[in-house]
Amino acid sequence: AGGGAGQGAGQDAGPAAPERVLFPPTFSVSEIKNKQRRHFMFLRWKQQQRKEKLALRKKRRKEREALGDKAPPKAIPKTIENQRIYDETTVDPNDEEVAFDIATDEFAPYFNRQTVPKILITTSDRPRGRTVRFCEQLSTVIPNSHVYYRRGLALKRIIPQCIARDFTDLIVINEDRKIPNGLVLSHLPDGPTAHFRMSSVRLRKEIKRKGKEPTEHVPEVILNNFTTRLGHSIGRMFASLFPHDPQFIGRQVATFHNQRDYIFFRFHRYIFKSEKKVGIQELGPRFTLKLRSLQKGTFDSKFGEYEWIHKRREMDTSRRKFHL
Amino acid sequence: SLQIVWDTLGNKQFCSYKIRTKTQSFCRNEYNLTGLCNRSSCPLANSQYATVREEKGRCYLYMKTIERAPFPRRLWERVLLSKNYEKALEEIDENLIYWPRFIRHKCKQRFTKITQYLIRIRKLTLKRQRKIVPLSRKIERREKRREEKALIAAQLDNAIEKELLERLKQDTYGDIYNFPIHAFDKALQQQDAESESESDMEKEDDDEDKDEREFVEADDSDLSDFEDMDKLETSSEEEQEDEEEIEKKASHSKSKGKTPLKGPTRRKRPHIEIEYEEEREPTTKTKVS
């Protein structure tokens, strides 16, 4: 009855006031009590929406073509990388302060070619098979690296011994429930220590379409997307693991790619098919790292001076804010 | 009456502190001296009883006498034992003087065991402790999801390829790859094809032996250049065709799982019609006139 009255009023008002259009009272899909019917109506509504959207898009495309050169430029879709909150510590390559820092920090001897990297890879206590195999593969990927078993030794005592034997870096792979889940990378003669959480570790046999074993050639290093000051120092840390002069004959490349604070490590063999096309083939293990803390001296959990710790409550508040 | 207590609890009926296993029964009572369920060890069935218990690293001697049986609150008398082992033993002795031998002996034994495990605890805490960090499920799920999304956004293969091509352009590889700069050879597609094969060739051989080329029909020159392929005569061409096949096979075997780049793409060069009779055997390289 209410509907009828409304209709009547609409019709009366129609000839009297043609500008004022009264729509019949519509129902919304969510008011139907019957689930089946409601579902059906909803699907129909959805299809209608899609059709309208398609029509709109076609219209827009036609307009764009019609305008030809005068058409407004295409709108760039928003991505998280586009919308990233600008970090003040972004490294500007021409910045003097950064350049000075770089020249005098702990990696300067490496970049000046005074030291040759020598890496010690070890694990936490009692490593399980997967971790052991991962360590072995990692040592084939990084040249001049040695794997030693932990056997219950304290890290604080290992470190002076390593320094005495001329090691430049120490990698400790932490294990939990038979899978490796953490990585501590420590630059030895008094260098910074970075603690990462490691995830999605794939050993060589689990990688599909992989090539043969990595050879002994020194691989190249690619560091992608380390923009902030913190990221820059982490990038240098990774770079200092590998000897400074890659052997291009080997055609191997190790990549550390930072995306949204996750560092993806891959190891590939590349081949240039033409000057515009290159084919890559994945060898070697792969894993992703997320930085948890960066400490100034060597590994010392109690008295260390932390340069950066990931504090969840403060740092994870925004989805567009990244630190590396 | 204690005998009645024991008869009821210990032997026949139910005692809530008692645990039975196949061979033995144990007593869960915290004041029990030995831990077994015996007539002499049951604190309920003995009116005169003593135990040694430790609390927060200090040992106490607990005693129960029949005079205090009606006062459950004051039933157990507690004496702090000294930290010195021998002194504590003497203290036990002087507190339990005139007590049955069994209880005295068992108390001292129990005290010894307790001190031993306290020492062990102290030693272990000095070593490295494994720190247990709780994982929050919500956080883990969130991190995993974000990692997946980041992986998709990263487009790793493309990024790596771009970077490598950049480096090629910047000439970091120097002279190893000999691609002509594409600014002035857009029209020369065949040159591209040739350089493709030539670069493959260069990768095959570790040394660049480009200087001497032997167009001797009778001879076998494994590593020769294809640069002047078009100018060559048919006979030497055909030999090089042979070698090309060999190179192809060698390169095939070198990179197995890769996308096939050698086979069909090699046919970009002008196809030369040559007739030759022998097979593609590396060993059978004969001269053809």
Does any CB of chain B come closer than 8 Å to the CB of residue A259?
A: yes
pLDDT band with cut points at 50, 70 and 90 for residue B198: low
pLDDT band with cut points at 50, 70 and 90 for residue B284: very low
Q: Among A308-312, B83-87, B117-121, B217-221, whose mean pLDDT is lowest?
A: B217-221
Please state, in angstroms and rounded to a whole number, the distance separating the CA atoms of residues B113 and A301.
35
What does each C-alpha distance from B191 to B45, B194, B212, B226 come to in angstroms?
106, 5, 21, 11
Question: Looking at beta carbons, which residues of chain B come within 8 Å of A279?
Answer: 258-259, 261
**DSSP string for A220-249:** EEEEE---BHHHHHHHHHHHTTS-SS--TT
Q: Report whether pLDDT(A265) > 80.
A: yes
A260 closest CB neighbour out of B146, B180, B182: B146
Q: Report whether pLDDT(B232) > 80.
A: no
> What token pair was written down for A166?
């001329």
Per-residue pLDDT, A94 = 73
Please state, in angstroms and rounded to a whole number, the distance separating the CA atoms of residues B43 and B34.
10
Q: Among A13-27, A292-306, B14-28, whose mean pLDDT is lowest?
A: A13-27
> What token pair was written down for B107?
């108390």
What does each C-alpha distance from A156 to A20, A166, A258, A263, A298 come to in angstroms?
84, 16, 31, 28, 9
Optimal mutation site among A272, A288, A301, A309, interface B, most CBs of chain B within 10 A: A272
Please state, in angstroms and rounded to a whole number, the distance separating the CA atoms of residues A133 and A122.
12
Q: Please indicate whether, in this complex, the C-beta atoms of B150 and A262 are within 8 angstroms of each other.
A: yes
What does each C-alpha distance from A91 to A324, B139, B211 come to in angstroms?
11, 30, 48
Q: Please indicate whether, in this complex, the C-beta atoms of B147 and A154 are within 8 angstroms of each other.
A: no
Per-residue pLDDT, A44 = 94
Per-residue pLDDT, A127 = 87
Residue B262 Cα, gap to closest chain A Cα (Å): 9
Nearest CA in chain A to B152: A259
> What token pair was written down for A253?
């490349």
Per-residue pLDDT, B287 = 53
Contact call for residues A160 and A304 (beta carbons, < 8 A): no
Contact call for residues A161 and A298 (beta carbons, < 8 A): no
Q: What is the pLDDT of residues A201-227, one digit of tens each?
A: 999 888 887 778 888 888 989 998 888
Contact call for residues B92 and B52 (beta carbons, < 8 A): yes
A272 closest CB neighbour out of B130, B146, B199: B199
Per-residue pLDDT, B235 = 42
Question: Looking at beta carbons, which residues of chain A come within 8 Å of B154?
Answer: 257, 259, 264
Q: Which residues, other chains included, contact A45 with Cβ-Cβ below 8 Å and sequence gap of 6+?
A: A29
Question: Looking at beta carbons, which residues of chain B come within 8 Å of A154?
Answer: 128
Q: Which residues, other chains included, contact A252 with Cβ-Cβ below 8 Å and sequence gap of 6+?
A: A214, A215, A217, A219, A220, A267, A268, A269, A270, A283
Three-state DSSP state, B60? strand
Length of chain A: 324
Question: Looking at beta carbons, which residues of chain A come within 8 Å of B159?
Answer: 224, 255, 257
Quote the mean pLDDT of chain A.
84
Q: Report whether pLDDT(A112) > 60.
A: yes
Q: What is the pLDDT of residues B50-81, one digit of tens each?
A: 999 999 999 999 999 999 999 999 999 999 99
pLDDT band with cut points at 50, 70 and 90 for residue A287: very high
Give me the helices (H) in chain A, please: 2-16, 35-67, 96-104, 108-111, 129-141, 155-164, 229-239, 312-315
Q: What is the pLDDT of residues A62-98, one digit of tens each?
A: 888 888 777 777 778 888 888 888 877 777 777 777 7
Per-residue pLDDT, B249 = 41
Looking at per-residue pLDDT, the higher value among A99 and A226 belongs to A226
Per-residue pLDDT, A92 = 73
CB–CB contacts below 8 A, A to B: 105
Please state, in angstroms and rounded to a whole number, the distance separating the CA atoms of residues B128 and B150.
37
List residues bridging with A196 in a β-sheet. Answer: A183, A291
Domain boundaries, chain A: 29-70, 85-316
List residues bridging with A184 in a β-sheet. Answer: A172, A195
CA terminus-to-terminus distance, chain A: 66
A119-138 in b/e form (b: 16+ CB < 10 A) is bbbbbbeebeeebbbbbebb
Please state, in angstroms and rounded to a whole number, the distance separating the CA atoms of residues B177 and B203.
8
Domain boundaries, chain B: 1-46, 48-127
Please state, in angstroms and rounded to a whole number, the distance separating the CA atoms of residues B258 and A301.
46
Per-residue pLDDT, B234 = 42
Q: Report whether pLDDT(B205) > 60.
A: no
Nearest CA in chain A to B142: A316
Please state, in angstroms and rounded to a whole number, the distance separating the CA atoms of residues B239 and B262.
19
The kind and range of the H/E element at B160 are helix B156-169
Q: What is the pLDDT of residues A125-176, one digit of tens each?
A: 888 889 999 999 999 898 888 998 888 788 778 888 888 888 888 899 998 8
Looking at per-residue pLDDT, the higher value among A125 and B255 belongs to A125
Contact call for residues A194 and A294 (beta carbons, < 8 A): yes
Does any CB of chain B come closer than 8 Å to the CB of residue A312?
A: yes
Which homologous superfamily does the CATH classification assign to the domain defined by A85-316? Brix domain (3.40.50.10480)
Per-residue pLDDT, B138 = 93
Q: Report whether pLDDT(B191) > 60.
A: no
A259 closest CB neighbour out of B154, B192, B196: B154
